[in-house]
């Protein structure tokens, strides 16, 4: 079957199987920033934005994005480049496998929460697991990024 939607600002149409999941569809179509780490909606690495809100693409049926808008980091390069500067500054740049999903989550956070507390920030990104950094450097980077965008 076909699914037609807006991908990174462009109208697109993909041939998919009814039971196919968005992460697989995107990766098969060379959107390689989308990572699969657990394939069971448990770790956040596959996060993409659907109509601006974070979803877990490994467990979201591709057919369900019909007529909607999907955003991956390929479409928000300047914003993500800026986030990466904050990450580097705090030493939060290690293996990077969780980073693309996390970057999109941070952009969604910036949109949704105005003046979040530390707890609210952590609560928003808690679904993005990281095994490398121990999270503190990530948190500091996120907090400073949000402060720079008040």
Partner 1 sequence: MEANRYLRPATLEEAHQLLLQDAKNILLGGGLWLKKSTSSANALIDLSALGLDQIKNTGDHIEVGAMVSLRDFEMSPLVKNIQGGILVSAVSQIMGVAFRNGATVGGSVAGKFPFSDLITPLLALDTTLIFYPKKELGLADFLNQKGRSSDILTHVVIKKSTGRAFFKKVKTTALDFAVINVAISRLNNEYRIAIGSRPSVAALAVKAMDTVNGMKALSDEQIAQAATLASEELLYASTNAASAEYRKALVRAYIKRGLEEVSK
Partner 2 sequence: MKTKVVNHKTPSVHGKGIMMGRPSFTDDLAEPNSLIVKILRSPHAFARIKSIDVSKAKALTGVELVLTHHDVPRKSFTRAGQGYPEPSPHDKFILDEYVRYVGDEVACVAAINESIANQALKLIEVEYEILEPVLDFETAFEHKSIIHPEDGINEMFPIGFEPKKNVAASYHMHVGDVEATLAKCDVVIDETFYTQAQAHAMLEPHTANARLDYLNRLVIYTATQTPYHVRRIISQTLDLPISKIRVIKPRVGGGFGGKQALHGEFFVSLVTLKTKKPAKIIFSRQEVFESSYTRHPMRIRMRLGANKDGTLKAIDCYSLSDTGAYGEHALTVFMITGSKVLPLYNKVDAVRFGGRVVYTNHVSAGAYRGYGAIQGNFALESAIDVLAKKLNIDPLELRRKNMMGEGETSPIFSIMGEGTEGTAMDMDTCKLGYCLDRGAELIGWKDKYPFVQVGPHKVRSVGMAIAMQGSGIPYIDMAAATIKLNDDGFYNLTVGATEIGQGSDTVITQIVAEALMTTVDKVIIYSSDTDLTPFDVGAYASSTTYVSGNAALKAALKMKKMLIEEAAQYLNAKPEEVMFDGKEFRTEDKRLTLADMANKLYYNENQHQLSATESFVGHKSPPPFMAGYVEIELDTETGEYDILHYVSVVDCGVTINPMLAKGQVEGGIVQGLGMACFEDVKYSGRGKLNSNSFLYYKIPSMLDVKKLTTEFAESYEESGPYGAKSVGEIGIDTPPAAIANAVANATGVRINKLPVTPEKIFQGLNKK
Cβ-contact 67, 7 below 8 angstroms = no
Cβ-contact 16, 2 below 8 angstroms = yes
Please tell me whether residue 14 binds partner 2 under the rule CB under 8 A: no
Residue with tokens 């965008």: 149
Angle between helices 136-148 and 99-112 (to 10 degrees): 40
Q: Which is nearer to partner 1, 31 or 62 (CB)?
A: 62
- Through-space distance between the first and last CA atoms of the chain, rounded to whole angstroms: 44
Please tell me whether residue 10 binds partner 2 under the rule CB under 8 A: no
Which among partner 2, partner 1, none contacts residue 9 (Cβ within 5 to 8 A by kind)? none
Find the angle CA(107)-CA(111)-CA(112) to the nearest 5 degrees: 115
Please tell me whether residue 116 binds partner 1 under the rule CB under 8 A: no
Stretch that binds partner 1, among 18-26, 30-38, 77-85, 133-141 (CB under 8 A): 18-26
Kindly list the distances between the CA atom of residue 25 and the CA atoms of 3, 31, 40, 124, in Å, as whole numbers in the listed order.
10, 9, 16, 26
Shortest distance in whole angstroms from residue 35 CB to partner 2? 8
Stretch that binds partner 2, among 49-57, 60-68, 109-117, 122-130 (CB under 8 A): 122-130
Please tell me whether residue 32 binds partner 2 under the rule CB under 8 A: yes
Residues that bind partner 1 (CB under 8 A): 1, 17-19, 21, 39-42, 44, 47, 50, 53-56, 59-61, 63-64, 66, 105, 108, 123-129
């Amino acid at each position: 079957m076909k699914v037609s939607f807006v991908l990174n600002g462009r109208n697109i149409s993909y041939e998919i199987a009814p039971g196919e999941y968005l992460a697989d569809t995107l990766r098969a179509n060379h959107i390689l920033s989308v990572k699969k780490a657990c394939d069971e909606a448990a770790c956040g690495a596959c996060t993409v934005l659907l109509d601006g809100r974070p979803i877990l693409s490994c467990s979201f049926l591709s057919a369900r994005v019909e007529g909607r808008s999907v955003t991956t980091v390929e479409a928000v390069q300047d914003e993500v480049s800026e986030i990466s500067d904050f990450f580097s500054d705090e030493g939060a740049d290690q293996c990077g496998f969780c980073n693309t999903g996390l970057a999109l989550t941070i952009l969604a956070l910036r949109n949704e929460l105005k003046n979040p507390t530390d707890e609210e920030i952590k609560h928003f990104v808690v679904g993005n697991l990281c095994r490398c950094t121990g999270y503190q450097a990530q948190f500091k980077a996120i907090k400073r990024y949000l402060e720079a965008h008040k």
